[in-house]
Amino acid sequence: MIDIPTSGKASASSELGRSLEASSGRIFSRKARLSFYNRTFRIVCIASAVFVCVILFSILFLMGRTGVLTFETVSVKDFFFSTEWVPENDQYGAFIFIFGTFALTLLTMVISVPLSVIIAVFLSEMTPGWLKTALRPILDLLVGIPSVVYGFLGLTVLIPMLRTVTGTNMGDGILAAAIVLTIMVLPTISRITDDSIVAVPRKYRDASYALGSTRFQTIVKVVLPAARSGIMYAVILGMARAIGETMAVVMVIGNTPQLADALFKPTSVLTSNIVMQIANVPFDSTWNYALYLMGFILLIISLLMIVIVRLLQGRGVKA
Amino acid sequence: MKRKWLKGMALTLMALAVAFGSVSSAGAASKLSGRIVVNGSSALLPLTLQAANEFKKLNPKVRISASAAGSITGPQSVRKGIADIGAVDWDATKDVPGFKKFDGQVAHKVAVIPFAAVINSGVGVNNLTTAQLQGIFSGKITNWKDVGGSDADIIVVNRAFGSGTRVNFQMKALAGKDFMTKGSNYKEVKSSGDMKTAIETTPNAIGYIDLVYVTSKMKAVKINNVAATEANVINGSYKVWGYGYYMTKGQPTGATKAFIEYVQSKKFQTGSLKKLKFIPISAMK
């Protein structure tokens, strides 16, 4: 036990020093034990960090190594630029899926980012306090809903709705998937944007109002630019979630290997194609390797996004 | 020092293994023990789980673990030695469209699974011939009016390649003819459950599913004027059905053999299997 006398800080630290020196009758002195604990804790922390890195890199390595085997039978050009995905006839063109993934993510962002930013501005700038405390937990809860639930609602509610509204035959396609994904990433993007807007110092707003700006001018010209790096961070987190999402997408996208050149045309993306086929593929086959390679491409895309997030965090407006 | 300790450990383990091995082989005559891993078809999973429960009550020393990831994983897991029994919806000792045969494996029939071509209940068609089904699923017939329905585009829902239901439907209902692979009115779904939802909620849709999944919100069409019922499967007039198989590496032994025999036994076939809406293998000639 460390006994801290009430007389003052200086005497407390000298007391602590003496208690470190004093042997308490055990084999090791208190000082030796403390430094042993400190060093052990340090080693445990470093080991954990190294462990995580090892896991990440071994996943990358194994996926990459298995994926690269694809190129034993399929040429790089065919894999990345051919639109013929007919594994039954040894045709492995993944362009459809790579294109579909980017198209879907882009469409999702086009719908979700403006909506999320408006929600965030409303939450942070216009809502009275009691409503804020009610709305924020609701948005946080939305993040936790399993994606398969979103997918099922998309399949049973959204798609019949799209069908009646637009008069198409099926309704499956990237628009349906983008709407489902938008609902999924809205809470993520709007909550992080909300936080970054709240973090903008009050003096910026005060200065803007003092110059005679309206509330709209203040928000659009001052607050949003000041929170830009936080908003970018939110957008990229949302994108990463949209790119990797599988269960919800597979239920509404139609899963047909054809190019997504229309909003209502059953198509396929990297994630949905992997999950549709991986269970039914012979273990050591080009088909299996091609699916691994597609997974590897997805991983690389997410890693790139994380790198971009880091770069953006480095820059950005600092208060 | 450390080396010695490891060596001792290894020796102990080996001794233990030998001891346990001899115990289990000696005890096989009186009481079965061991571990059975079943993998493969999701259609057969309910049957496997039910049988495992009953079998474990009779033989408490046997541990059975069953999982399902799709028909083709059954014989593949057996070949790789991951599973003792591979459940599959077709006879994997023979070539089927898209899949090569698995050499050195033995197929054991365990159940009869009927399949039905199903359409959304809004479609005014009750009967389709084999030729019409071939035309629809290969994408040559695209409007319901060509097969006696109203003027509406046909939406084809297919299972993904590798599904046992798909293999059986292709062999029996389409007489081996190929499916279409793309088109703006064509989509693929991952499981029987997704197929059910898709057919129920999509107007003008056609698909196919295990007979037990057919609900009141969809319609099982007659094929060549024969209704898809269990009675018609048994009397031989309805042709779209397949056997469910358990694949083993060579002839099974010990607990695995006893388990397969239990599933094939009259007690299980006419009892629990029938309750799960499969058809006993003995009902077919």
Distance of residue A168 Cα from the nearest chain B Cα, in angstroms: 10
pLDDT tens-place string over residues A19-58: 555 555 666 788 888 999 999 999 999 999 999 999 999 9
Nearest to A191 by CA among A121, A111, A109, A110: A121
What tens digit of pLDDT does each residue of A265-279 get? Answer: 999 999 999 998 887
pLDDT beyond 70 at B4: no
Q: What is the mean pLDDT of chain A?
A: 87
* Strands B155-159 and B205-210, sheet pairing: parallel
Candidate from B76, B184, B186 with C-beta closest to A283:
B76
What pLDDT is stored for residue A25 in this prediction?
Answer: 60
Task: Judge contact between A63 and A296, C-beta under 8 A.
Answer: yes
Report pLDDT for A24.
55
CB contact under 8 A, B184 and A170: yes
Q: Note the ipTM here.
A: 0.75
Question: Is the distance from CB of A120 to CB of A112 less than 8 angstroms?
Answer: no
Catalogue the E-assigned strands of chain A. 85-86, 91-92
pLDDT at A18: 59
The confidence score (pLDDT) of residue B113 equals 92
C-beta atoms of A280 and B76 within 8 A: no
Among A86, A172, A277, beta carbon nearest to B187: A172
Which tokens hold the place of A115? Answer: 């909506």
Task: Check the CA dihedral B172-B174-B179-B184 and report its sign.
Answer: negative
The residue type of B219 is K
Identify whether the C-beta of residue B155 lies closer than 8 Å to the C-beta of residue A265. no
Q: Find the mean pLDDT for residues B55-60.
A: 92
Instruction: List, as ranges, residues 235-264 from B with C-beta within 8 Å of A.
Output: none
DSSP A122: I
Contact between B106 and B191 under an 8 Å Cβ cutoff? The reply is: no
Query: Do A93 and A79 contact (CB within 8 A), yes or no?
Result: yes
Residue A221 has pLDDT above 90, yes or no: yes
Q: Report residue B41's pLDDT band, with 50, 70 and 90 as the boundaries.
A: confident
Identity of the amino acid at B113: I
Output the pLDDT for position B277.
84
Give the model's pLDDT for residue B25: 43
CA atoms within 13 A on the CB side of A18: 8
Cβ contact, residue pair A258, B182, below 8 Å: yes
The enclosing H or E element of B152 equals none
Whether B187 and A155 lie within 8 Å, measured CB to CB: no
Among chain A, residues having any CB pair with chain B shorter than 8 Å are 86-88, 152, 155-156, 159-160, 163, 169-170, 172, 250-251, 254-258, 262, 264-266, 275-277, 279-283
Q: How far is CA A238 from CA A87, A89, A141, A145, A235, in A?
A: 32, 37, 16, 15, 5
A284-315 tens-digit pLDDT: 888 999 999 999 999 998 888 888 877 876 65
Has residue A283 got a pLDDT over 80? no
Q: What percent of chain B has pLDDT over 70?
A: 89
What is the token pair recorded at A40?
Answer: 């052990």
Contact B203 A163 (CB under 8 A): yes
Mean pLDDT score, B199-216:
91
Which of B197 and A308 is assigned the larger pLDDT? B197
B189 → closest Cβ in A156, A255, A265 = A255
What is residue B276's predicted lDDT score, i.e. its pLDDT? 87
* Residue A8 pLDDT greater than 70, yes or no: no
Instruction: Give the start-end residues of each E strand in A122-213.
Output: none
**pLDDT above 50: residue A4:** no
**Lookup result for tokens 């600092």:** A318
Strand residue runs (E) in B174-230: 186-189, 205-210, 218-220, 222-223
pTM value is 0.80
Q: Which of A156, A276, A282 is closest, CB to CB, to B190? A: A276
Total length of chain B:
285
Q: Which of B72, B89, B68 is CA-nearest to residue B80?
A: B72
Residues of A in contact with B187 (CB under 8 A): 170, 172, 254-256, 266
A181–chain B nearest CA distance, Å:
19
pLDDT tens by residue, A59-86: 999 999 999 999 999 999 999 999 999 8
Instruction: For residue range A196-220, list pLDDT tens digits in order.
Output: 999 999 999 999 999 999 999 999 9
* Residue A244 predicted with pLDDT over 50: yes
B23: pLDDT strictly greater than 50: no
Q: What confidence score (pLDDT) does residue B97 get?
A: 81
Look at residue A20 in the predicted model and tell me its pLDDT: 55
Q: Is B98 on the interface with A (CB under 8 A)?
A: yes
Mean pLDDT of chain B: 86
B165 part of contact set with chain A, CB < 8 Å: no
Residues B242 and A263: their CA atoms lie apart, in Å, by 39
Of B182, B187, B189, the CB nearest to A170: B187
Q: What average pLDDT does this structure show over B78-95? A: 91
Full DSSP string of A189-203: HHHHHHHHHHTS-HH
Element (H, E) at A6: none
B103 contacts in chain A (CB < 8 Å) = none
